[in-house]
């Protein structure tokens, strides 16, 4: 099976390559290889590679910057997805597209199911929803949230850096979601591919918390592993205390029950995967 992975240099792109099954012949591309905003270049690359499967792990993820850069976000998060879907239509292949909890407005009081109505409240969320709309019935959509990986650019590593620099931190406590270890997400994606799954699925780690609760847990485990010397004071703040250009869903927990049922797996709690990631981070030095 010939597989083309986009976003090769990102957290998920790297994890997908490391977790790839032996029967997958992997070609991984990133922005240095193909400009996703260049339709002619992207189409030519897709036709030249002629993969059986595309896993699109590339995205414009600068949530706040997207508010003033909607054209670029649209080109990467939606227009490029249409080109990939069209290429798979021509070649008889399948597109696996990774999307986000930001397609929901965050007003729910229970975890969002794959078929729940979308109502994005940011440019990032709207462009990701537009990308979803380009998928065919034969394709696979996997939504996730709060992704992190050792060595990547993410909340966990940002917190560790700040905890080594400051005695006091303020972290938002009124946004609730579920962290996701990229390695676990990659395993799920490959599992859904091997199961022949189509349609929409969700994957996050088990459990729901606020960013503040996540930061407290990061501090505790990071100190045990020697990643920080002392645990700073971590104060809970509100979204209003930390205004940003983009609105964020207050509650974006995803219902992953259909994914677990399809793969016949049990959920892994976010705290367990956080410890795994931090051990990897410590090993990186």
Q: Which residues are catalytic, by number?
A: 124
d(CA 160, CA 219): 7
Q: Which two tokens stand for residue 19?
A: 């977790």
3-class SS at 146? coil
Q: Which two tokens stand for residue 104?
A: 């929901």
d(CA 143, CA 161): 28
CB neighbour list of residue 158: distance below 8 Å, 6 or more residues apart: none
Sign of torsion, CA 264 269 274 275?
negative
**Residue for token digits 């974006």?**
252
Question: Would you give the end-to-end CA distance of the chain in angstroms?
Answer: 36
Angle at alpha carbon of residue 15, lines to 12 and 16, rounded to 5°: 85
Which residues make beta-bridge pairs with 177? 209
3-class SS at 26? strand
Given a contact cutoff of 8 angstroms between Cβ atoms, the answer to whether 81 and 134 are in contact is yes
Which residues make beta-bridge pairs with 49? none
CB neighbour list of residue 251: distance below 8 Å, 6 or more residues apart: 106, 107, 108, 109, 175, 176, 177
Given a contact cutoff of 8 angstroms between Cβ atoms, the answer to whether 57 and 5 are in contact is yes
d(CA 49, CA 37): 18
């Amino acid at each position: 099976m010939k597989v083309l992975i986009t976003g090769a240099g990102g957290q998920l792109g790297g994890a997908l390559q490391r977790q790839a099954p032996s029967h997958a012949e992997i070609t991984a591309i990133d922005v240095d290889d193909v400009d996703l905003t260049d339709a002619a270049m992207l189409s030519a690359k897709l036709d030249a590679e002629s993969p059986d499967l595309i896993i699109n792990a590339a995205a414009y993820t600068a949530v706040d910057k997207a508010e003033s850069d909607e054209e670029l976000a649209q080109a990467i998060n939606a227009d490029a997805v249409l080109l990939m879907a069209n290429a798979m239509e021509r070649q008889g292949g399948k597109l696996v597209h990774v999307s986000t909890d930001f397609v929901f407005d965050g007003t729910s009081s229970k975890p969002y199911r794959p078929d729940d109505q979308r109502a994005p409240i940011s440019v990032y969320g709207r462009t990701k929803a537009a990308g979803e709309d380009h998928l065919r019935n034969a394709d696979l959509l996997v939504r996730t949230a709060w992704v992190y990986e050792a060595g990547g650019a993410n909340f966990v590593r940002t917190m560790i850096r700040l905890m080594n620099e400051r005695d006091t931190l303020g972290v938002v406590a009124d946004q609730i979601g579920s962290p996701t270890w990229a390695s676990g997400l990659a395993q799920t994606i490959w599992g859904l591919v091997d199961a022949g799954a189509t349609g929409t699925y969700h994957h996050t780690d088990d459990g729901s918390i606020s960013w503040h609760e996540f930061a407290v847990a990061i501090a505790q485990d990071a100190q045990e592993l020697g990643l920080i010397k002392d645990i700073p004071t971590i104060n809970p703040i509100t979204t209003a205390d930390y205004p940003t250009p983009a609105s964020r869903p207050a509650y974006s927990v995803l219902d992953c029950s259909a994914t677990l049922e399809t793969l016949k797996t049990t959920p892994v709690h976010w705290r367990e995967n956080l410890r795994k990631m931090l051990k990897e981070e410590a090993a990186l030095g």
